[in-house]
Every structure is written in structure tokens, then in C-alpha cells.
Amino acid sequence: MIADRTGRTFATADHWAVGRRGPGGFPEPKVRRPRVSLWSWAEVATWPHENRLAEVSPVEVELAEVCEIADSLIRARRLQQRLPEKDRERLHHAMA
């Protein structure tokens, strides 16, 4: 939970997310649900740190960003493997 990771209450994190507290610009959820939405920690971690609203270590922010990049690369690779061979070759040449 965002509250746990930032050392703040659930209410505070909720107020940040809906714009009732803080300077605004809180990251949008990746999955919006009526009761519990899901955020990317890599996107969220920088927001309270940069706005001096909570202590999130720079190491934790960097680690979250690296994990998000690694996850994106893994998902892209899996999607690439689903392509027909001809399209994979075309993609490979386009990226070279």
C-alpha cells in the first residue's frame, strides 16, 4: 500500500490521490477500480519524495524505476515472441 510505503495514513494517501492534499499531479492509477485502484510504485514513489511530503529513499525510488523498466522489457519480449516469424524479423530490423 502507498500509505505503508510512505509512512503515512491511508486517508493521507487517498487525499493525495484524489487531489485534496498536496500540490496536485499525483500519478494516475494503472487500474482504476471503484473501491481499490492500482498504481505503479515506480511512478508514485517519486511524487511524495519530490514534493517533500514523505520520506522515500532515493535508492527505493531508483529500484522501483529499474523494476518497472525490467518488467516492461520482459512483457515486450513475450509479446514479440507471439508475433509471426516474418513480423518478428521486420520488428528486429526496424529496431536495429
Q: What is the pLDDT along the chain (96 residues), one digit of tens a residue?
A: 899 989 999 999 999 999 999 999 999 999 998 888 899 998 898 899 889 899 888 888 889 889 999 999 999 999 999 999 999 899 888 988
**pTM listed for this prediction:** 0.68
Cα angle 77, 36, 3 (rounded to 5 degrees) comes to 90
* Residue 36 near residue 82 (C-beta atoms within 8 A): no
Beta-carbon count within 10 A of 49 CB: 17
User: What is the number of domains present in the chain?
Assistant: 1
Range of the domain at 52: 2-95
Nine-digit cell string for 7: 509512512
